[in-house]
Chain A
Amino acid sequence: MLANTETNSALLRVEELVLHYRTRAGTVQAVDGVSFSLDKGQTLAILGESGCGKSSLGRGLLRLLPRNVKTYSGSIFIGDLDTMTLGDRRYRRDVRWRRLALVPQAALNTLNPVLKVGYQVAEPLLVHRQVKKKSEALEKVRHLFNLLGLSTDFLNRYAFELSGGMRQRVAIAMALISDPDVVVLDEPTSALDLLTQANIMNVLKRIKKDMGMTFVFITHDVGTASELADVVAVMYAGEMVELAPAENFYTDPLHPYSERLMASVPTLREEKELQFIPGQPPSLINPPGGCRFAARCHKRLSQCTEKEPPMTIVDKGSRVKCWLYQ
């Protein structure tokens, strides 16, 4: 059901990705049939509230699965290669961190407290034998640090000596070091104060511009995402409910949920009365039949609760999962 035109030139193409977990309460359907594609140099922002499954999507992209995974299916194409077809060992050797990298949520604790920061950033290079000597690797790290605005002093420092913002940058460096095709960033700025947030976003923008890096930017912060996003996807209750180019989305969100999201974000110049969405998102265990947003939708139709709406292509390249656009 893909519509987008440049299917062959897409760097990252995901089709019907499903990720279900087994828990004692039941099966958590965290990611339920998500599809999108992304060109090189583009940034996809995945928006959604807590518990909508976007972090699972991020991890699912890198096959960083927990022990209680029940279903993991779909296709993830990087270029022409469907990485889902690869065995775990090959995936680890060839794909993870070589073609796809992750900057995880709450990066503050992602650094080993007893190893030097520089060494940790260099580790992927050494492990994947992308360099011949350690000094070469550290050279690359130095270069990257400069790019990211980190003092090269920090190569010999330890994690606890760095502030939050610096650690985030180190995490980004760690993701970039092995020259991946796509970097998935999971809430990279959520734990930071506004000033540092701004700094990090600047860094990302620079990298995007200078290195032409492709990002998948997962966040709940609509405003922050807007700085980087070329394409925006909205996730709700494990499903992708809207996928649109950024200009379209920010000026004219299609899905009722997206509308509400945009309405809740304060804008700099407009006078706006902020609105919120009443109710709670449904549980991912046994999600309701029909449209999963129906219970909270202000534009609900009768059929919304009965039948699940298909993904509809609307003009200007946007896609939306809503009966309103049938």
Chain B
Amino acid sequence: MDKMSRKTIKTATIMLTLIVCMLAGTTMALARTGAWVDEVVFVMEEDQNKAVARIESGELDIYTLGISQADLFRRIQDSPKLAYEVSYGSYNELTFNPAGPVFSGTGKLNPFAVPAIREAVNWLIDRDYLTNEVLGGLGAPRYTALNTAFADYARYADTIRQLELKYGYDFEKAKEVITREMTKLGATMSGGKWHFRGEPVTLIFLIRTEDERRIMGDYVAAQLEKVGFVVDRQYKRGADATPIWNASEPSEGKWHIYTGGWISTLVNRDLASNFSFFYTKRGMNSPLWMAYSPSTRFDEVSLKLESGDFSTMEEREALFAEALELSMKDSVRVWLVDRVSVWPRSADTLLATDVGAGMSASRIWGMTVRKDEKVGGRVTIGNASMLVEPWNPVAGTNWVYDMMIIRGTGQQAAIPDPFTGLYQSQRVKKAEVTCIEGLPVTKTLDWVDLNFIDKIEVPGDAWIDWDAKAQRFISVSEAGKAGLTAKSKITVYYEDNLFRDTKWHDGSPLSLADMVMKLVLAFDRAKPESKLFDASAQVAFRSFQETFRGIRIVNEDPLVIEYYTDQVYLDSEYLAGDAANIMWPFYSQGPGAWHVLALGIRAEENNELAFSAAKADKEKIEWMSYIAGPSLAVLGKHLDQAASEAYIPYAPTMGKYVTSQQAAGRYASLKKWNQERKHFWLGTGPLYLEQVHPVEKIAVLKRFEDYADSAEKWAGFAQPKIAEAELSGPSVINRSRGATFNLAVTFDGKPYLRQDIDYIKYMVFDAKDALVLVGEAEAVADGQWQISLSPQETGRLPIGATRIEVVVVPTVVSIPSFESLQVMTLP
């Protein structure tokens, strides 16, 4: 061969090799199942500043504490090695004591007994100052009972925006109203201070000290002092404040105002019951709530919203509009800010974060955590606190940091979307939701089909109750409830290869027995005749029984079940999720295989251990832990015993779903697992618990090789697609000619897909902040929308300054985006 061809062959070989390697690499990535990483190590780090320093130095990759300190946030922003996720779940408000106007306990004046004065406080506070100066930008001003980051806010943005403008900072107005009302009460102004019955009016202000509430409280106090009140600032920790503001009789007059704070634990799609909770007696059973006396109409409206007493979204919208207005008039709570929490991570690490409650609440972190875009490797996560209480799936620890680790080891069959809160399918092929006519239920995602009929009858052979003595389910007809109806029926079709593909970490295959066990335990623990009876379980069970109407296994493999309930949600995905999860072996505090739980059942029957803390304390026995402590010896003993007998718990029912051979096989696998790892924790998730060191506060998870799902499955959830909007158009509107504005919507520089946007609402305000026009933008192309105002519409605009505000509501993220544009209207 000549030189040329030799060279060509050489080049071709090199190129071919390269291509093959690339393909192999990509295939590897594509073929990767389960977790991207090989190992996840959890360590404890209590100090936020140290944690950030450790991420910078590469020792940690992620820190699971939402940071709200402005200067630390700036540091994270400034460092090229650091990145962060945000969550929007916590918020602050001012709680008022509504008793009075004169406290029967002290004879002192309480101005906040008058709704008008409470309403006036809205004008007294500059929420922009609080957000920008006090929180350093880590927040958003909040005026109403609705979180600015959640779906309902976006839905009714026009109403809310008007209210926000109406109640914006206006010191003079506040002073005017307060002066008027105080005079009506019989107070007089002397020496710049209000006096009542010869004494200066002193307001007792309980200010929490543990966080930025301290500064916010100081600011509010200063404003109150400017309008003539004397403020007695009492700085207190939570434990010292709660007995005063929540537990003392309001009429005793021990306090006037309190800096309240709340947190959400997930993305909340339905805030309808907020009004009842925050403004009426129905919220909490404490002296303060019992003193709330909203107007009759407000009480009515909030009750309707709470109980879902409407049949269309339009009805809901009307109720909301009224409730919002009335709530501002009532103002027994004045809302201050929505807090933004920042969750730091190293720049090259990714994981899905719940926008409501942050990283520690993320349910799919195990499937999405990844470093350097690599396959494999180790990720080190810092927890602010961990391994504090026992782990058991039934009623173990609900410590939020431990739950994060637990959620890496197992998931539910339907998982809430970290960005929208809607349930996404994990193990379900599809679900059919049927509701009776007249219910305001909607559907958004593809895995759910929704239809309406006029009546749903529960079949006679559906299980509705449990006989703890005979250890078998009671059917609808046996319970004498033939002809029972339900508001919703959900048929869940699980994945075809569910029992072949899904494995527990010790190698045992998932079986129907695991699922039936969950249902059994839900009932059995609440029955007094059972040895596992637990008074604390009764509470949750009773609320479940209120709506539960029956469940039926239609087909065993592939698994199909029917679920009947009177529960109603706005989103059909919630109904489908509830149905899919009810039998799925992920209990309230973790995944549980039936053979693992069998050990605990035996232990609790023998009064050696208890699943719940309440029962453990009552019986003075140990709270069951599957990972450490004195429980392990007891569980080990029961494992040996169970193995020798091939023990099947609840045999009359479970015996139909598992043979003694299978049982023996399960126990053998568990024994091997325990010998190697010294604990009994099993799950079906992409990561398994390899080591746990409670004293040293270290936990090590490793990748489960037999996990069936591709690693790509949830890859799209690594980042919430929060839209960025840009308004452009003419700076002058001619009233007679109409106008067109362009809206560019992007994320990360790329155009936002049309199908990912739910709607875009626009509002046009005049110079006096009065709302003139409302409408929806039209989609032109991906990333491009248009607002077209006809000449009739622009004809209604007064001459002068005009502001156009836009609310962008995507479907893939529940956080709306806002944008505004100032223009001029001329004839």
Q: Do chains A and B touch in the complex (CB under 8 A)?
A: no
